[in-house]
Amino acid sequence: MEPELTKKERCMLNGECGEGKRQAMEILFALAKIYGAKNMVPIGSAQISGVSYKTIGDAGLEYLEDLAKKGTKVEIPAYLNPIGMDAQGWEEMKVPQDFAQKQLAILNAYTSMGAKPTCTCTPYLIGVRPKVGEHIAWAESSAVVFANSVLGARTNREGGPSALCAAICGFTPNYGMHLEENRIADLVVDVKVALPDRSDFGVLGAIAGGIARGRAVAFRGIKKADEDMLKYLGAAMAAFGSNSLFFMEKITPEWKIRDGAEKISVDKPEMGRMRKTLDETTEADIITTGCPHASLAEIKEIAEMVRGKKLKKPLWVCVSRIVKEVAARQGLEEIIVKAGGKLVADTCMVVSPMREMGYRNTGVNSAKAVKYLPTMCQQRVHFAKLGDLVEFEGAGKKKVRKK
């Protein structure tokens, strides 16, 4: 059955609103057919992936420039995913010139269409917070889980092109996570272990995601979880199981379990086993955190951890440009820089050319980063709590633990 279109949508499809809108609408119409959507649903915002030159290459760059040349504009607020470098500090990062030029051209094509160069996987940390029940079209997998689960907004896991088309048209096909009946858990996970560190939530996400394989998960038994913890959990679930929705009892806005849903429990030994699996090497040339991008709260903790000390290894804290600027104003960046670390904005360890920059082994506290660094950046990964990864000059062999 063909999706039902409004008069305006029909006009877009016919090309009466310009070639860019026609092409975007043709894609959305095809996707609506493929996924059995009955209609389109207006969206409040879009978050567009496929912004790093490293991932979309020359083919993507040409497509975007072509679309921009046609005068195509976005209809609703649209926010960009991280790029392959710090847009202002790429020379200092030793990013090759050719890469940088192409990357800036991609950014330019997007912004000329009206997309905002937020360059972050965490728009919800810079004030983009859709309301419960609001329809959106977000693409970056961890942002999708966070928006659906923690904010209660409604989005499918969009690809880069489909999120861009949704932004250009202002709506998205109404199927999947947009429909109430699909927002129900088919797997219940009883958590029988305390999760004191953020990295513990990544470990739990890797376990639950791997078992759920895309099914929505309902977690029970977690007494306390702040937004950063939920961020690490969702990011790992998406990376290890293509998940797009979870519930957490008394913590998330939605809570619905299907009758006869599978039930499992996760205990301390299982968490220990997964933690070991994720930790491939004890070597690290560089320590990176901020996958997904770090919040101001995390930066504050890091500043406290390193204040007045000297780091043994380089430390990257990956953040959005806006959060970096706030951290600079609060004096937090200076503390971290003095210790030998840096706030890297617009990008992250996964989408930047780590290997080309000379790194072989990366220390991370994010399970999601463990999943992608080996294939996307040819890195061996040391996974641990941030407090255990960070070592200081003069501290001997003893590791400094986070309070």
Partner 1 sequence: MIVKGRIIARGYAKGPALVTMQPISFLGSVDPKTGIVIEKGHELEGKSVAGRILVFPRGKGSTVGSYMMLQLKKNGVAPLAIINLEAETIIAVGAIISKIPMLDMLEEDPFSFIKNGMVVEVDAERGIVRC
Residue with Cβ nearer partner 1 (145 or 335): 145
**56 touches partner 1 (CB under 8 A):** yes
- By CB under 8 A, name the one of 81, 122, 142, 162 that touches partner 1: 162
Task: Quote the least distance from Cβ 192 to partner 1, whole Å.
Answer: 37
Taking CB under 8 A as the criterion, which residues in 30-49 touch partner 1? 30-31, 33-34, 49
Tell me the window of 53-61, 244-252, 293-301, 339-347 that interacts with partner 1 (CB under 8 A).
53-61
Task: Quote the least distance from Cβ 213 to partner 1, whole Å.
Answer: 16
Task: Quote the least distance from Cβ 119 to partner 1, whole Å.
Answer: 18
**159 touches partner 1 (CB under 8 A):** yes
Residue with Cβ nearer partner 1 (168 or 299): 168
Task: Quote the least distance from Cβ 59 to partner 1, whole Å.
Answer: 4
**3 touches partner 1 (CB under 8 A):** no
Task: Quote the least distance from Cβ 160 to partner 1, whole Å.
Answer: 6
- By CB under 8 A, name the one of 161, 205, 209, 290 that touches partner 1: 161
- By CB under 8 A, name the one of 84, 160, 170, 209 that touches partner 1: 160
Where residue 94 falls (left for φ over 0; alpha for ψ -120 to 50; beta otherwise) is left
**60 touches partner 1 (CB under 8 A):** yes
**353 touches partner 1 (CB under 8 A):** no
- By CB under 8 A, name the one of 5, 11, 26, 104 that touches partner 1: 26
Residue with Cβ nearer partner 1 (1 or 269): 1
**58 touches partner 1 (CB under 8 A):** yes
Task: Quote the least distance from Cβ 33 to partner 1, whole Å.
Answer: 7
Sites of contact with partner 1 (CB under 8 A): 23, 26-27, 30-31, 33-34, 49-50, 55-60, 62-63, 159-162
